[in-house]
A and B are shown apart, each in its own frame.
Chain A
């Protein structure tokens, strides 16, 4: 167990509402990542962080923001949820060139 906890595990929300997903790690890793997984697309990077208050965009960052005020917590916010953001979201930690460890995922449904 890599010590990564995502919350909530499941969420249903309405279009237009803000949603925040949380990733908590106990490994003291510098790098943390948010991916989304959709059928036929594999895992795609939304945002990542390379330290406290240091974040950058991934390939599918539109409509998402992140924050990292502590090493152990990385938050993903959907500013105004849309149906296209219905997906499974995974948090991951990994150092460069090393294997990634993933959380159990958050299944988000936007209705």
Chain B
């Protein structure tokens, strides 16, 4: 069964303080690894898809990387608006569903 573990559970940062979130996974044949951002009271919002080890994707101050066992979401010099819960999910080959981690809640203080 696919498993996804995210760490840390919570992260408090000062504005401008860069950091990384970890997503460790086990899956039988990776079809895709997905990162989402979720604001309180809202549905998850798609950020990135990574398909193979070594792949990297960037969007504004966020950069996602992928190895065969884990993915990192790097936040560079964050602003308070980057405060959110970040979710990681995987889909295995031949699987219809996404398996989610519990998320990392990031708080960026001005």
Contact = CB atoms under 8 A, between A and B. Distances in A.
B interface residue count range (under 10 / 10 to 19 / 20 to 34 / 35 or more): 20 to 34
Given A42-B100, A43-B100, A44-B100, A100 B46 contact: yes
B86 to A, nearest CB: 11
B73 interface: no
B102 interface: yes
B87 A43 contact: yes
Given A42-B102, A42-B103, A97 B91 contact: yes
A74 interface: no
B27 to A, nearest CB: 13
Given A50-B96, A100-B34, A41 B102 contact: yes
A interface residue count range (under 10 / 10 to 19 / 20 to 34 / 35 or more): 20 to 34
B96 A31 contact: yes
Nearest to B9: A40
Interface of B: 4, 31-32, 34, 41-46, 49, 51, 87, 89, 91, 96-98, 100-103
30 contacts: A33-B98, A40-B102, A41-B102, A42-B87, A42-B100, A42-B103, A43-B44, A43-B89, A43-B98, A43-B100, A45-B98, A48-B96, A56-B96, A90-B43, A92-B43, A92-B98, A94-B98, A97-B91, A98-B49, A99-B34, A99-B46, A100-B44, A100-B98, A101-B46, A102-B45, A104-B42, A104-B43, A105-B41, A105-B42, A105-B43
Closest 10 CB pairs of A and B: A102-B43, A42-B100, A43-B100, A42-B102, A99-B46, A45-B97, A97-B31, A97-B32, A102-B44, A104-B43
Interface of A: 31, 33, 35, 40-45, 48, 50, 56, 58, 90, 92, 94, 96-105
